[in-house]
Amino acid sequence: MKPAKKLQSLTIVLILALSACSRSHIIVVTLSNESGKPLSNITVDYPEATFGKSALGPGNTWQYRIKVTDNGPLKVSFTNASGLHISNSTGTLHKNDEGTIEIKLSQETSVPVMHLGAPR
């Protein structure tokens, strides 16, 4: 094999190896308002980070992508249509989890449906 071709082949192998090592381990979180009334001040707290949505209308959904960098609880809090603050600890996440979580919200509680794969 010519030196230039050999160098090109080694470069391609190196790029592929590095891209395999830097896999993102992303979780797609879907907030789903399954009630007939609006919800507000929705906050999702997970290990070392938080995200939120100011309002979610009845029957609406919203997605957000997260990367879990430590082990810990998944907590959800929101305000229902009556102004009552609801807060739940809904499960445990682990560093490098990946997959999907649908958080089903009602006027009284939040229920997660988790489809997470173990880190590879």
Q: What is the pLDDT of residues 19-38, one digit of tens each?
A: 555 567 999 999 999 999 99
User: In sequence order, which residues have a C-beta less than 8 Å from that of residue 52 and are 6 or more positions away?
Assistant: 41, 42, 43, 44
Task: Report the predicted TM-score, pTM, of the whole model to 2 decimal places.
Answer: 0.79
Please indicate, yes or no, if residue 12 is contained in any of the structural domains.
no
The CATH number covering residue 58 comes to 2.60.40.2890
State the pLDDT confidence band at 87, using cuts at 50, 70 and 90: very high
pLDDT recorded at residue 3? 66
> pLDDT at residue 42 above 80?
yes
The mean of the pLDDT values for the chain is: 88
Checking phi first, is residue 21 left (phi over 0); if not, alpha (psi -120 to 50) or beta?
A: alpha
State the pLDDT confidence band at 117, using cuts at 50, 70 and 90: confident
Please indicate, yes or no, if residue 15 is contained in any of the structural domains.
no
Please indicate, yes or no, if residue 107 is contained in any of the structural domains.
yes
Mean pLDDT of 101-107: 97
Q: Which residues of 60-72 are buried (b: 16+ CB within 10 A; e: fewer)?
A: eeeeeebebeeee
Please indicate, yes or no, if residue 7 is contained in any of the structural domains.
no
Number of domains in the chain: 1
Q: Which structural domain range is residue 102 located in?
A: 25-117
One-letter-per-residue 3-state SS of the chain: CCHHHHHHHHHHHHHHHHHHHCCCCEEEEEEEECCCCCEEEEEEEECCEEEEEEEECCCCEEEEEEECCCCEEEEEEEECCCCCEEEEEEEEECCCCEEEEEEEECCCCEEEEEEEECCC
> pLDDT at residue 2 above 90?
no
State the pLDDT confidence band at 64, using cuts at 50, 70 and 90: very high
